[in-house]
Amino acid sequence: MSDFDSPGRIKCGTVATACFDATLGDYSRILGLDVVEAGLVPDDLAVAWGTPAMAGRRTALLTSPAGRPGFLRLVETSAVPGYIPLRSFGWAAYELTVADCNALFDDVKASGFTVIGEPKPVPGFDNFIPFQVVGRAGEVLYLNQVLKSSMSELDLPMTEARVDHMFIAILAARDRAAAVAFHRDVLGFAVGDTWSIPYELINTSFGLPDDTMTDMTMTRMGRMPASEIDQYPAAAIPRPTAPGELPPGNAMISFLIARLGAVEATFISAPQRRHGPLYAGRRSATVRGAAGELIELIEAE
């Protein structure tokens, strides 16, 4: 087991896209990620996700050629009328570490990504400078240049790669306390700090006053961040999803975990050993969290 492949690590974020070729082009050309595996979703994997209609759909696994061994996975899905990013429960955004957010920002502006937040510090945080984009599939990415790696409870990953691995997954919750409890009690993460901030993206998305505050709680494994769990406004809705398919946009997170036998939740289907760059012969199984989010668990050994 490599130092990267430790329990609690985000090993992969899955993006469900109805415009597969164009999305793949953006991730390859603009973000500079390499395709390390491509093909069709196996029938048994689609069943393991609880999404039988995904069987036989195109998929591609991407990673940074200069970064750490984390992945983004694209899966082809049907278009979902009425889906609007940052308006529904579930995985809302993926945070990736980048070397130079200003240089990347200049390239992203002339691409298939739409900028929804320009590079600037977050109030109350001086460790990183992020900017935010929405992709063609309605997926949201936070592209963060880490300036100082150490926070009070967390270590943030600095990088020299144009775009490196995902290090935080943002979860939009109807009931933040219930979602935090699931990640703590079922998945084994520690509960970190809670902040209340005027969250510009959420306020803009829901048409709320600029000074509306959002409560957010971090989860972690040791000093490694895992999820940011946000309390979403009352106007948020369940993610509209095509029958039997992955939810559109930010669809699923794959966490490494020490032992599947220690997870006190019902798996969608029985754990199975899988192969390829992501699974590397390890067992995996999928659960659904308290916010409706899909969580794929991969044993670290």
Place of tokens 């709680």: 217
172 sits in which H/E element:
strand 163-173
The verdict on residue 152 lying in a domain is yes
Q: How far is residue 107's CA from residue 29's CA, in Å, rounded to a whole number? A: 10
Note whether residue 5 is domain-resident.
no
Is residue 3 assigned to a domain? no
pLDDT for position 210: 96
Backbone torsions φ then ψ of 52, nearest 5 degrees = -60, -25
Q: For residue 1, what pLDDT is reported?
A: 44
Give the burial class of 208: count Cβ atoms within 10 A of its Cβ; 0-12 exposed, 13-18 middle, 19 or more buried: middle
Phi and psi at residue 173, in whole multiples of 5°? -120, 140
pLDDT the model gives residue 268:
98
Encoded tokens for 109:
């502006």
User: Is residue 14 situated within a structural domain?
Assistant: yes
In a domain, 1, yes or no: no
Here the tokens at position 275 are 């192969």
pLDDT score, position 140 = 98
DSSP 117-164: E-S-PPTT--SEEEEEEE-TTS-EEEEEEES--B-SS-BPPP-SSSEE
| CA–CA dist 206, 187 (Å, integer) | 30
Domain harbouring 200, CATH code? 3.10.180.10
Domain tally for the chain? 1
pLDDT digits (tens, 9 = 90+) for 77-108: 999 999 999 999 999 999 999 999 999 999 99
Residues 6+ apart with CB under 8 A from 136: 17, 19, 22, 23, 26, 112, 113
- Does residue 160 sit within a domain? yes
Residue 20 located in a structural domain: yes
Q: Are strands 90-98 and 140-146 parallel, antiparallel or unpaired?
A: parallel
Give residue 3's pLDDT: 84
Strand ordering across the sheet containing 128-134: 114-117, 128-134, 140-146, 90-98, 163-173, 224-231, 214-221, 190-197
> Residue 151 is which amino acid?
M
Spell out, as residue ranges, where the chain has pLDDT lower than 50: 1
Range of the domain at 56: 10-299
> Within a domain: residue 2?
no
pTM, two decimals, is: 0.96
